[in-house]
Amino acid sequence: MILSGCGVYDGSEIHEATSILIALSMRGLSYQCFAPNIMQHHVVNHLTGEEMDEQRNVLVESARIARGDIKEIGDFSAETFDAVIFPGGFGVAKNLCDLAFEGAACEVHEDIRKVILWMVKEEKPIGALCISPAMIARVLPQADVTIGQDRSTIDVIEAMEGVHHNTDNCEVIVDEKYKLVTTPCYMLDATIAEVFQGALNIVDEIIQLWNEK
Amino acid sequence: MILSGCGVYDGSEIHEATSILIALSMRGLSYQCFAPNIMQHHVVNHLTGEEMDEQRNVLVESARIARGDIKEIGDFSAETFDAVIFPGGFGVAKNLCDLAFEGAACEVHEDIRKVILWMVKEEKPIGALCISPAMIARVLPQADVTIGQDRSTIDVIEAMEGVHHNTDNCEVIVDEKYKLVTTPCYMLDATIAEVFQGALNIVDEIIQLWNEK
């Protein structure tokens, strides 16, 4: 799992990230967390929504979700892992790429871009929740993805020449050519139980893709 | 749910807190997060385990887990809510009380103490995961609790005249006199799926206590 900090407004969405780990563990799969060793774009006070006069590191804050067991993204190898999953959160759009500021013209962090392309080359599945599919669409041309039904984000994906499919809570879109599976989670007005079910559906679709091989 | 920060080493354990919210949502129950508006005892770098030269606020950091929807503990009323649940994490033993430093002689934050005693007076259930049962045992004399099998923590609970019951992963101890339900979660060497199942079992025991009324 690739993290982007710890907290929906400036890092990884905590419920989505935790739901992925629970789902993997329920299916008897082991996991390793990764994050880039870079400073966060900014720090947001999650009580008030205001920016704080602080600096925090993406890897160090992501370690909170990983209980300390996390590695730098540069140490990732697509030969070692059978799948990669991205939870959502504004950290994806602020730290892993600059989608939140540049929209369809955004640049994806070089190590993240490398991970995505390497997994495709190895023909191994990628899962992406919430806003992450928009970042993936920037790297993989004509990717079939979903972020739910948010019109402005769909416009951005289409401007990247991504192919967006509207979905409801817990639904998964499978792009067979890239082995890419996506689901909206908190990009819709979901309950946390629906977020968890979405994460479980992503893991089950990844298992399905392994079985089809 | 009462939070104590965001991260196992200086706040609430994120997987336990998220698991409680998923379990409540899966059972169709609504929830409200609370935390005290106080400074954390300290800030721990979760990558290295070392203390950082920073100060963070318990309520502000807890808001990361609550996605901003959190209230000050002083605004809690036992007349409004049907149950209270405490996840674990060192924040319980460092911010909500000083158990990590004072052991059996620890003092519990006045507002937390008040919440626990008020729920008992109203005969409404309290759930506690991981290390939280040790804090509750300090407030409720002769409480039947479990924190798993950790001998040094059991010694502390027994020095407080709490009654400890050894348990394995996901097992719940029910104290009928206080309507108190406890489970070990990460106080044992649990997988995250076992932590989630423990949280679900706590919620189901609380529902059972409501039905017995």
Average pLDDT over residues A1-28: 98
| pLDDT tens by residue, B68-88 | 999 999 999 999 999 999 999
CA A172 to chain centre: 14
| pLDDT tens by residue, B133-148 | 999 999 999 999 999 9
Q: What is the pLDDT of residue A162?
A: 98
Q: What is the pLDDT of residue A10?
A: 98
Whether the predicted pLDDT of B63 surpasses 90: yes
Strand partners, B44: B51
Burial group, residue B175, by CB count within 10 angstroms (0-12, 13-18, 19+): buried
A65 touches chain B (CB under 8 A): yes
DSSP state at residue B108: B
Whether the predicted pLDDT of A148 surpasses 80: yes
Nearest to A46 among B9, B49, B63 (CB): B63
Question: What distance in Å separates the CA atoms of residue A184 and residue B66, rounded to the nearest whole number?
Answer: 19
Nearest to A15 among B18, B49, B54 (CB): B18
Q: Which two tokens stand for residue A158?
A: 């289409």
Query: How close does chain A come to B206, measured CA to CA in Å?
Result: 18
Q: What CATH number belongs to B14-211?
A: 3.40.50.880
Q: What is the pLDDT of residue A141?
A: 98
Mutate to test the interface with A, among B16, B20, B46 (most CBs of A within 10 A): B46
Q: What is the pLDDT of residue A85?
A: 98
Does residue A9 sit in helix, strand or coil? coil
Residue B25 to residue A192, Cβ atoms within 8 A:
yes
Q: Which of A14, A29, A197 is nearest to B17 (CA)?
A: A14
Burial group, residue A52, by CB count within 10 angstroms (0-12, 13-18, 19+): middle
Instruction: Give the position of tokens 């529902």.
Output: B207
The question of whether B130 is a catalytic residue gets the answer yes
Question: What distance in Å separates the CA atoms of residue A27 and residue B193, rounded to the nearest whole number?
Answer: 9
Strands A70-72, A33-35: pairing is parallel
| pLDDT tens by residue, B100-132 | 999 999 999 999 999 999 999 999 999 999 999
Whether the predicted pLDDT of A44 surpasses 80: yes
Decide: pTM greater than 0.80.
yes
Confidence at A107, pLDDT banded by 50, 70, 90? very high
Q: Would you list the domain boundaries of chain B?
A: 14-211
Whether the predicted pLDDT of B213 surpasses 90: no
Confidence at A129, pLDDT banded by 50, 70, 90? very high
Q: What percent of chain A has pLDDT over 90?
A: 100
Confidence at A82, pLDDT banded by 50, 70, 90? very high
Q: Exactly one of A97, A130, A170, A185 is catalytic; which is it?
A: A130
Instruction: Give the position of tokens 């967390």.
Output: A33
Nearest to B191 among A25, A60, A65 (CB): A25
Q: Which two tokens stand for residue A46?
A: 């999650």
| pLDDT tens by residue, B5-38 | 999 999 999 999 999 999 999 999 999 999 999 9
Using the CB atoms, write b or e for A165-179: b if 16+ within 10 Å.
Answer: eebebbbbbbbeebb
Question: What distance in Å separates the CA atoms of residue A161 and residue B43, rounded to the nearest whole number?
Answer: 44
Question: What distance in Å separates the CA atoms of residue A136 and residue A143, rounded to the nearest whole number?
Answer: 8
Query: How close does chain A come to B177, measured CA to CA in Å?
Result: 31
Query: How close does chain B come to A67, measured CA to CA in Å?
Result: 7
